[in-house]
């Protein structure tokens, strides 16, 4: 069953999301050549606790880190190890916060050392387009369709093995939100006011097939080409969706 949030629950989700976005912005500012992934993870964990929360990802069985940090061909579930970032690396940061019983989840990709690319612009545009469509009366398929269209028209490939998801009392809830549409839109779940979703744009520069790394967690692009990830948590509402994890700026990269 897909949960509809009360006003009180929505307020708690907003509190979780705003705190998570505050932590995320601080971690983005710490990204620079030479910093180790485990240092970024430690910073995120400490800041989440200072915000009165708990790292959502640590609630996942056998996952011991506050973040997933994916570099270059890494798609999701990147382990924050001792790797030191290099100028020009593509880094995807994914983290969640559990605050007063409510999870929110967000992700961004950036180029270490600064800069932008058509590849990253496509992900930001796709997430913004999907967010605009997260209103009552639309369907999950509307979000999937626009993500696929924006990413494909830019010349890239949406990943088919992974999806966005509902978010709230649990980190991963129904409905699943694919980055593509492969069956009739009318058969996808109807969006209703009060639903809380984590909309994810997961895509690759080359082919969309993935392989599992030796660490047993990280999924990487099979062809070794870069991947990217953009995600926000939101509540379906009118006249527009309420983005819970909005950053004050999406240009906070160094």
For residue 59, being part of any structural domain is answered with yes
Q: Give the Cα separation of 129 and 72 in Å (integer).
A: 25
Q: Give the Cα separation of 243 and 211 in Å (integer).
A: 32
For residue 254, being part of any structural domain is answered with no
For residue 49, being part of any structural domain is answered with yes
CA 248 to chain centre: 16
For residue 45, being part of any structural domain is answered with yes
CA 196 to chain centre: 14
- What are 198's two structure tokens? 């984590």
CATH number at residue 147: 3.90.230.10
Please say whether the dihedral angle defined by the alpha carbons of residues 163, 164, 166 and 171, taken in this order, is positive or negative: positive
pLDDT per position as a tens digit, 24-66: 999 999 999 999 999 999 999 999 999 999 999 999 999 999 9
Structural domain for 145, as ranges: 7-243
For residue 184, being part of any structural domain is answered with yes
Rounded to the nearest 10 degrees, the angle between the axes of helix 37-50 and helix 7-30 is 140
Rounded to the nearest 10 degrees, the angle between the axes of helix 140-153 and helix 118-132 is 160
For residue 1, being part of any structural domain is answered with no
For residue 56, being part of any structural domain is answered with yes
pLDDT per position as a tens digit, 108-146: 999 999 999 999 999 999 999 999 999 999 999 999 999
For residue 67, being part of any structural domain is answered with yes
For the chain, the domain total comes to: 1
């Amino acid at each position: 069953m897909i949960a509809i949030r009360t006003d009180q629950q929505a307020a708690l989700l907003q509190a979780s999301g705003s705190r998570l976005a505050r932590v995320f912005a601080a971690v983005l500012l710490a990204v620079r050549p030479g910093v180790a992934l485990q240092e970024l993870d430690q910073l995120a964990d400490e800041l989440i606790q200072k915000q009165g929360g708990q790292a959502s990802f640590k609630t996942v069985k056998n996952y011991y880190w506050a973040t997933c940090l994916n570099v270059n061909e890494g798609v999701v579930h990147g382990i924050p190890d001792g790797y030191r970032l290099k100028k020009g690396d593509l880094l995807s940061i994914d983290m969640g916060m559990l605050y007063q019983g409510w999870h929110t989840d967000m992700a961004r990709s950036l180029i270490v050392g600064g800069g932008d690319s058509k590849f990253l612009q496509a992900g930001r545009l796709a997430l913004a387009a999907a967010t605009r469509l997260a209103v009552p009366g639309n369907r999950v398929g509307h979000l999937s369709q626009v993500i696929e269209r924006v990413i494909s028209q830019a010349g890239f490939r949406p990943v088919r093995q992974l999806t966005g998801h509902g978010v709230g009392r649990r980190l991963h809830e129904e409905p699943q939100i694919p980055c593509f549409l492969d069956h009739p839109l009318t058969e996808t779940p109807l969006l209703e006011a009060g639903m809380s979703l984590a909309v994810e744009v997961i895509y690759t520069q080359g082919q969309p097939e993935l392989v599992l790394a030796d660490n047993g967690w990280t999924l990487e692009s099979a062809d070794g080409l870069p991947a990217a990830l953009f995600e926000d948590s939101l509540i379906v509402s009118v006249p527009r969706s309420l983005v819970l994890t909005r950053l004050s700026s999406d240009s906070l990269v160094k």
